[in-house]
Amino acid sequence: MRKITILATVGILVFASALGAQQRNAIQAAADALGAGKIKTLQFTGSGANFSVGQNYTPNEPWPRVPVKNYTALMNYDTGSMRVELLREMGPAMPRGGGAPFFGEQRQIQVVSGNYAWNVPVTAPNAPAGQPAAAPDAQLERMLALWATPQGFIKAAMMNNATTRNAGGGTEASFTVGGKYKMTGTINAQGQVQKVTTWINHPIVGDMPVETTYTAYKDFGGVMFPSHIVQTQDGYPSLDLTISAVTVNPEANITVPDNVRTFNPPAVTVESKKMADGVYYLTGGTHHSLAVEMRDHIVVVDVPNNEARASAVLAKAKELIPNKPIRYVVTSHHHWDHLGGIRTAMDEGATIVTHQSNKAFLERVAKTPHTIVPDRLASSKKAVKIQTVADKGVLTDGNRTIELHLLKGYEHTGDMLVVYLPKEKLLGEPDAFTPPPQAGTPLVRTAVPYAKALYDNIQRLKLDVQTIVPFHGNRTSDVAELSKAATTSSSN
């Protein structure tokens, strides 16, 4: 009896290892089918669209689509570097939702090499060779994009000792890059990589899935490559490309510019300007906030970017208004650049004040796993408190009043709450109107409808505004300038 058991066990082991070999062979078969072994560098060109991730009109809609006339990716698998150049094009109106307004053609060049990620400035001819990427994790994200390409995935699977298993007639291979970033992909019976999923850290949605699907493989002059690539981030398309050309082993010497190599990221600083008694304009970064003193607490409007910025904003508010807790954090709208510190505000114990259309999304945000880069809320696990606003909300202590008004007819976002302080005649607003650095400079034409919507709403609501406090830009403004900006546009 005992003997039979042993024999049976051995039989299972033999079977299991044969299966393992078969699946490992699937990676080798894919390497052969895709020519991964002989490809050191690769360039592909296509067109289609990229999408403004985190900028949807409501939290339940896809990301706004921006046409891409030309997309060229040059990769060097041996040196771990990649250069992506996009030529985007915008007509007379931005798509519904957010994203920085532009008109006509716009070139973007994003590069990664080893431990460095940077963007090549393309508008100023005498600009330095590279600008370090603003996002601290850009290097890893872009490196993952290199290893998510079909040939890159197979190379990475071999280098990182991928584990494999049978999956739906094909093979699923999984491994970890840099000890932290999980990658998993499926390979079909033809040795084609069909789908690669990886997860990157995001301050709002946590371990965010980035899923790239490869279909319609074709022979591009001797190399098999997909002719259609679709990538999603957090479930909605972020890139959709039809590939027109692939070049194997082109020259790809991607060198790190000196100013990128020696770059030290500046510390997060929050500057403040007193706008009225107990009302502070918090600037010093790309996105601004407001702190308002109430009788026994503080109200903060917008905690942008990420936890580092949000922590600094909340600390500054408490420094300017000592011995009072931050009881409310108003979020102007759900776009990710303005919402990046929302989990920090939740951890602070503040009640989040938001438009009602964001409630379900913020409840999800409070619970998203943050295992790649744990944040304050991931350890405190505080329960979220949300207070919703419909068309109008009021926060008051009996003396000071803060009104929140939903902008109507505003295509940038469906949930924009502007902040109005009737006594102080102040209006705080992000994105609708950013006064140009030089007064009198017309707005880019695609930004004019947003300024007009703000102007129309101020008239509709009969708000008596003396000072406009924008959450972008380098100065405050007024309704006269807004009115002019809403009716004139530049030729570009």
Given a contact cutoff of 8 angstroms between Cβ atoms, the answer to whether 56 and 62 are in contact is yes
Please state the closest distance from residue 412 (CB atom) to Zn ion, in A: 6
Q: Which is nearer to Zn ion, 172 or 415 (CB)?
A: 415
**Residue written as tokens 């022979």?**
219
Strand, helix or coil for residue 333: coil
**CA 111, CA 118: separation in Å to the nearest integer?**
5
Please tell me the distance from the alpha carbon of residue 486 to that of residue 229, in angstroms, as a whole number: 39
Tokens of 46: 């296509």
Residues in Cβ contact with 187 at an 8 Å cutoff, skipping those fewer than 6 apart:
26, 27, 29, 30, 170, 171, 172, 173, 193, 194
Q: Which is nearer to Zn ion, 302 or 347 (CB)?
A: 302
The Cα–Cα gap between 401 and 478 comes to: 21
Nearer to Zn ion by Cβ, of 223 and 300: the residue is 300
The CB-of-248 to Zn ion minimum distance in angstroms stands at: 42
Q: How far is the CB of 340 from Zn ion (least distance, A)?
A: 12
Minimum CB–partner distance for residue 330 and Zn ion (Å): 15
CB within 8 Å of 153: residues ≥ 6 apart: 147, 173, 183, 185, 193, 196
Count of Cβ atoms closer than 10 Å to residue 412 Cβ:
25
The CB-of-403 to Zn ion minimum distance in angstroms stands at 20
Closest to Zn ion by CB, 316 or 333: 333
For residue 144, the minimal CB distance to Zn ion (Å) is 26
- Cβ at position 54, least distance to Zn ion in Å: 9
Residues contributing to the site for Zn ion (CB under 5 A):
98, 335, 431
Parallel/antiparallel/unpaired status of strands 326-330 and 298-301: parallel
Closer residue to Zn ion (CB): 157 or 205? 205
Identify residue 319 by its one-letter amino acid code: E
> Parallel, antiparallel, or unpaired for β 401-406 and 392-396?
antiparallel
Please state, as a whole number, how many other Cβ atoms lie within 10 Å of the Cβ of residue 116: 20
**Minimum gap (Å) between residue 484 Cβ and Zn ion:** 23
Category of 409 on φ-ψ map: left (φ > 0), alpha (ψ -120 to 50) or beta: left
For residue 141, which of 88, 53, 202 has the smallest C-alpha distance? Answer: 202
Which lies closer to Zn ion via its Cβ, residue 195 or residue 309?
A: 309
Euclidean distance between CA atoms 470 and 434, whole angstroms = 6
Judged by CB, which is closer to Zn ion: 100, or 461? 100
Length of the chain equals 492
Q: Which residue is nearest to Zn ion (CB)?
A: 335
Question: Least distance (Å) from Zn ion to the CB of residue 205?
Answer: 16
Q: Which is nearer to Zn ion, 98 or 206 (CB)?
A: 98
Q: Which is nearer to Zn ion, 55 or 311 (CB)?
A: 55
In the bound state with Zn ion, the residue whose beta carbon lies nearer, of 46 and 414, is 414
CB-CB contact of 313 with 278 (8 Å): no
Burial (CB < 10 A; 0-12, 13-18, 19+), residue 233, is buried
Q: How far is the CB of 414 from Zn ion (least distance, A)?
A: 11
If the CB atoms of residues 98 and 226 are measured against Zn ion, the closer one turns out to be 98
* Cβ–Cβ under 8 Å, residues 351 and 299: no
What's the min distance (Å) between Cβ of 307 and Zn ion? 20
Pair 406, 396: CB distance under 8 Å: no
